[in-house]
A and B are shown apart, each in its own frame.
Chain A
Amino acid sequence: MADASVHRVSRKRRLRPLAWLALAALLALAIALALGSVGIAPDELAAVLLGGGDALHQTLVLELRLPRALAAFGTGALLALAGALMQILLRNPLADPYVLGLSGGASVAALLAMLAGASMALVSGAAFVGALVSILIVFGLAHGTGSWTPTRLLLTGVVMAAGWGALISFLLAVSPVDQLPGMLYWLMGDLAYAGSPWPVLSVAVISLLVVTPLGRTLNVLARGGLQAAALGVAVRPLEWTLYLLASLLTAVAVTTAGSVGFVGLMVPHMLRLRLGNDQRLILPASLLAGGTLLTLADTLARTLIAPQQLPVGVITALLGVPSFLYLLSRSR
């Protein structure tokens, strides 16, 4: 009996933080809908969401703010989830979704599309293709060589990222001055041209359904490849699944909002500092907390110096860095 109650407690221990995070997510979305050029009081917001309210508010909330808030939420959720997966894959708590050079590939393609004068939709498409190219190059290089280790994957990715970085600098150096602000905004991450939120949101939900049954197996993989294999995990297939999944999530996120930094590194790490390292808790918690963080950051980005908008990547870094350092100094 005592054991059964311990078991129930451990399950409750997982559900309670998720309930709090879900509440925080709803609150963040409500704030994102209420704040902007025209402030909307909570009761008015409730009326609009229930299908009533004033016509201007309806347009503002349902057509302008809601899609953007949901896109921000979905993007943040994907980045944090991808970061958590990448950290397990590379057995390195400091890994982030971009560590393997994926955002570099996306950025180079996006900048080339901007140079060619493409529309924002085409720039997003190019970014996705660039990310895929980078995923395949790293996969091919790390896979083609007999002995494969997370270290080799990490080195391959890091060197690819450095190469992309050089290309980005080159493109910025030769671009006409009037295009530079747009390019910089894209590079820092910006949700102004996010478009429909449904791709990111549906990918977030699907990926959560895919990784949830893997949670316990990922806990074992975090103990090292050999230990996981000795406990019955088919390590190689699992690692490639993780790599491709985390990469695709990042590609979708980067396509929506450019390369927003810090969310993928910090959110899972902060959660681990507070909640331990059970992936069955960390993965859904990352999704919720990443979404919440980016929704709030984007709300700040478009209200802080309105009507001027800031790139959201600047805000995530400015918010994230001090809070991360604070948590770190308070932990052991």
Chain B
Amino acid sequence: MAISKPSPAIPEPLIETLEARELVIDIPGRPAGRPLYLRIAPGERWGVLGPNGAGKTTLLHTLAGLRAPRSGEVRLGGKPLSRLTRRALARRLGIVFQTHHDDFPATVRETALIGRHPFIVPWQQEGPEDLARAEAALERLDLSHLADRELSTLSGGERQRVSLATLLTQAPQLWLADEPTNHLDLHHQVAVMELLAEQAARGCGVVMCLHDLNLAARWCSHLLLLYPGGEVCWGEADSMLVPSALEGLYGQALTTAMVDGAPVFVPKR
């Protein structure tokens, strides 16, 4: 399909689809593997599963336009990411990283507030509305009581929730999350998965890298299995949760049980 300039007559769709076309992520020294064709439609919750070093983070960064693919392309709302400015992209797509760089002092509130950066022109200050959004996001993640605290004084799980609060303040249409439940206690793991599900229900697309098969089984509508050799398969969650496939993915024998109508996977001793 030829790409022409969008004519002003066609309004930009409010809800956008993230597409990967013939995408091969670039991991140096790794064979190309099978190219990806993905359509992450509004309302879908994608889980990316795979062992350490399989390329989950690289895939997520490539989908976010932060890393060039080896071949193929990623499109948002039909437009290749490379043709969007960083700012236009950041207004629609947001990502939570696995690691944080807190080299300089900053408070929790300031950190949530930077989620508004893509929406404020350089010479403008954050307005009351921006602050209100940040406060609401902190409230949603149980962080209001920590708003004035320095990041360096937070626990790992609290810091992780601050990152999610920043993304909630950014309020993109596409949510990419690299191990969003890292460092979180059980209650907050569920709370974060509920938050992501709630965003999907609003019409956002969600992609998350996960290590917990049971969270993936319970909260994801689609799964993508990434093998260390570059092989990859994907589909609806029900069709992907095959014990033998998962055992092959991790090289770990599993016991499967059904709890509340959903499969539960436990590693065999």
Query: Could you say which of B11-19, B33-41, B85-93, B237-245 contacts chain A?
Result: B85-93
Q: How far is the CB of A3 from chain B (nearest CB, A)?
A: 4
B128 with A92: CB separation less than 8 A: no
Q: Closest approach, in angstroms, between the C-beta of A34 and any C-beta of chain B?
A: 38
Which residues of chain A are near B64, meaning CB under 8 Å? Answer: 230
Q: Is the CB of B97 within 8 A of A226?
A: yes
For the complex, give the distance between the alpha carbons of A11 and B131 in Å. 13
Contacts between chains A and B (CB distance < 8 A), count: 93
- The answer to whether B122 touches A220 (Cβ under 8 A) is no
Q: For residue B118, which residue of chain A has the nearest CB?
A: A232
A234 and B135 contact, Cβ closer than 8 Å, known pairs A216-B117, A272-B105: no
What are the residues of chain B within 8 A of A231 when measuring CB–CB? 90, 114-115, 117-118, 170
Q: Let me know if B117 and A277 touch, CB within 8 A.
A: no
Q: How many chain-B residues does the 8 Å CB contact rule pick out?
A: 41
Q: Which residue of A lies closest to B95 (CB)?
A: A230
User: Is B107 within 8 A of A233, CB to CB?
Assistant: no
Taking chain A's interface residues, is the majority helix, strand, or loop, or is none over half, making it mixed?
Answer: helix
CA distance A142 to B122 in the complex (A): 28
In contact, B101 and A232 (Cβ under 8 angstroms): no
Q: In chain A between 109 and 135, which residues have their CB closer than 8 angstroms to a CB of chain B?
A: none
| Cβ-defined contact, B106 with A216, below 8 A | no
User: Which of B66, B135, B152 is A229 in contact with, Cβ under 8 Å?
Assistant: B66
Docked complex Cα distance between A233 and B91 (Å): 11
Chain A, range 1-32, C-beta contacts under 8 Å to B: 3-4, 6-7, 11
A220 in contact with B125 given A226-B97, A230-B94 (CB within 8 Å): no
Given A3-B128, A213-B122, A216-B120, decide whether A229 and B86 contact each other with a Cβ distance below 8 A: yes
For residue B96, which residue of chain A has the nearest CB? A230
Asked whether A91 lies within 8 Å of B101 as measured between CB atoms, the reply is: yes
**CB-CB < 8 A to A195: which residues of B?**
none
Determine the distance from Cα of A3 to Cα of B125 in the docked complex, in whole angstroms: 14
26 A/B residue pairs, CB under 8 Å, sorted by A: A3-B135, A4-B128, A7-B131, A11-B125, A91-B103, A91-B104, A92-B103, A216-B126, A219-B114, A220-B114, A222-B103, A223-B101, A223-B106, A223-B111, A223-B114, A224-B100, A224-B101, A226-B61, A229-B86, A230-B66, A232-B87, A233-B86, A233-B117, A234-B86, A277-B106, A332-B152
Q: Which 4 A-B pairs have the closest CB atoms?
A: A232-B90, A224-B101, A232-B118, A232-B87
